Structure 1
Amino acid sequence: MVEKHVTLIPYGGLANRMKAIESLLHLLGDAEAEGMFVWFRDKGLNCRFDQLFQPLQVKGLIQKEAAFTDLFLYDRPRLKNFYIPSLFQQLFYRDCLHENEVTQRVYDHFDFKEWVRTRNNVYLSSCILFYRNPHKRLFAHFHPLPHLQEKIDAVCATFSSYTLGIHIRRTDNTRAIEKSPTSLYTQKMKEEIDKHPDVKFYVASDSLEEKKQLSVCFPNRIITMDKSTSRSTIEGMQDALVELYILSRTHAVLGSPYSSYAETAALIGDIPFEKMTL
């Protein structure tokens, strides 16, 4: 019997990669296959997987930190690498789906499970939740490193009996700035105060000014964390993970459009998510 094997290259930001890896875990279980994900560091996420999470305890899964030689075999074929990896991938895999091909197939209701079962040895790169078993809880295998979990628990201990998560994306996302002004958040927060007098808000943002402004507008109701906003440092990415899990433990999350971060937090916590958009 030919063993079925899936190689995944997750890319994008932290939330994007988590979604892609979670899809792989569900797919491996449903297709009765083994698999591997290869974690590449780049300027958008310059941090190893094992500097964020404990090892994923999943049978048949290999977690690989990319080495220099992996740039030729596993990296996404692009202009920057002259599409050289595609030459090796055509030799080693029965079929490959790259980036937008995966996204398009999701829209087309592509059967990824059957694809794995009939191709046996396949490769794909993704930044989305491309496959899901609806009967399984999302992100159950992801566990932050113990010292990061301690930070998460310490902040969550300051929550009131009703705490909402607020995620405002600003400095690196022009579409979020245009379509999700701060006034939308403040209006919604005022409505929540009317309904829940003891409400507090955990505010996650890459903008210190946004945090200051909300602290002035809603004194004694804002909880936030001093953190690095740099994706190019280990500390910055660890702080991003801590905030993601803090948001996941609120009662609901209000988040910016064109950003999967807040939505992923809601999926982790299985809580409501509301997109704040014009």
Structure 2
Amino acid sequence: MTHITLVLQGGLCNRLRAALSALWLTEQFSDCRVEVAWAVSAECAAPLHRLFEPETYTGERFSVRPYNWFYTPVCRANLHIPGLLRRFSYDAQWVNFRSNLTATQLSQCIAVHRRLYISTGYDLCATPDDMWRRLQPLPHLQRKIEALSRSFSRHTVGLHIRRTDNAVSMAHSTEPMFFEAIRRTISEDPMADFFLATDDNSLKDRLYETFPDRIFTQHCRGSRAELRGIEEAVIDLFCLARTSRLLGSYWSSFTDAAAQLGNLPLLIIDNSTSCSTSEIPS
């Protein structure tokens, strides 16, 4: 049997997609066991058990373990020392792993190892979207999701606009393009309204002013460097998943996760689209 230590990297949705793909892998093949190391850091300041019901992300050969320095991905700051020490414990180290392999192909690659270290924020292998729908937020988060989404209708469109620290997303998915996409959506469906998830409070204000009575969102007070901020991200994610379709940001795992979680038609607003909601498949 291959024992895999999976060190999750990046923000909330990067981590979740990697973890869910690993859980899927263990359910398809009985000859591997995965232990996930989830760090509480500035990128994601919440442990998994403070967000979701544990039974929704555990399995017979899948578990989450406490994080320590030994699992830290190598970098200049730590002089690659963790990686050197791990050579005594692991047959191989797949650092910043990313692939387009199927579960079967990946299982063949890992079968030659007894102990394997993987660090990533991507899917380990092709994974069904319905793995996302296993996740069950904790009761206090679920109550907020229910309250916010109670007024959703078939005219409610999800709107995820990633700003602040994602330069790639901001360059491709510009603010004027989102405003134009909203206008076109309203012209095609005069009853359209929007649930907005964004990390830019000033943008919220501009959208409220430009599209009065059509934009609604949760009142966020935290950042992803705080537990409250990650809880708010979970609420946004699950509310977006309850809309009828999604206008999302380029190069954003949060956009991708919301679409997969809700099985939603998705239009990425970027320089290669015309921003017409008519392009969204039904």
TM-score of the pair, normalised by structure 1: 0.89
SS of alignment partner, residue 88 of structure 1:
helix
**2:276 maps to which residue?**
none
**1:129 maps to which residue?**
123
CA distance in 2, matches of 1:218, 1:109: 45
CA distance in 2, matches of 1:59, 1:96: 24
SS of alignment partner, residue 93 of structure 1:
coil
SS of alignment partner, residue 204 of structure 2:
helix
Choose 11-20 or 160-169, whichever is displaced more.
160-169
**1:65 maps to which residue?**
66
1:70-89 CA-to-partner distances (Å, cap 9, x unmatched) read: 212x2212222221221232
CA distance in 1, matches of 2:269, 2:75: 34
Deviation, structure 1 residue 229: 4.4
Q: Does 1:247 align with 2:231?
A: no
Structure 1 segments of 4 or more deviating over 3 A? 105-110
Q: Does 1:196 align with 2:189?
A: yes
Q: Does 1:24 align with 2:35?
A: no
SS of alignment partner, residue 274 of structure 1:
strand
Compared CA separation, residues 272 and 118, structure 1 to 2 (3 A) = same
Compared CA separation, residues 27 and 199, structure 1 to 2 (3 A) = same
- Equivalent residue in structure 1 for 2:158, among 152, 165, 177: 165
Compared CA separation, residues 21 and 92, structure 1 to 2 (3 A) = same
SS of alignment partner, residue 85 of structure 1:
helix
**1:260 maps to which residue?**
253
Deviation, structure 1 residue 153: 0.9
CA distance in 1, matches of 2:45, 2:69: 15
Compared CA separation, residues 97 and 110, structure 1 to 2 (3 A) = farther
**2:72 maps to which residue?**
75
CA distance in 1, matches of 2:24, 2:165: 31
CA distance in 2, matches of 1:77, 1:155: 41
**1:230 maps to which residue?**
223
1:187-234 CA-to-partner distances (Å, cap 9, x unmatched) read: 222222232222110011111121111122222111111102411111
**2:274 maps to which residue?**
none
Deviation, structure 1 residue 120: 3.4
Tell me, yes or no, if the aligned pair for 1:31 and 1:114 is still in contact at 8 Å.
Answer: no
**1:89 maps to which residue?**
86
CA distance in 1, matches of 2:101, 2:181: 32
Aligned length: 268
Q: Which runs of 5+ in 2 are unaligned?
A: 272-282
Tell me, yes or no, if the aligned pair for 1:206 and 1:229 is still in contact at 8 Å.
Answer: no
Tell me, yes or no, if the aligned pair for 1:7 and 1:35 is still in contact at 8 Å.
Answer: yes
- Equivalent residue in structure 1 for 2:112, among 105, 115, 118: 118
Tell me, yes or no, if the aligned pair for 1:168 and 1:256 is still in contact at 8 Å.
Answer: yes
CA distance in 1, matches of 2:170, 2:133: 32
CA distance in 1, matches of 2:121, 2:127: 18
AA paired with 2:156?
T
Q: Which runs of 5+ in 1 are unaligned?
A: none
CA distance in 2, matches of 1:183, 1:176: 13
> Cα RMSD between the aligned structures?
2.1
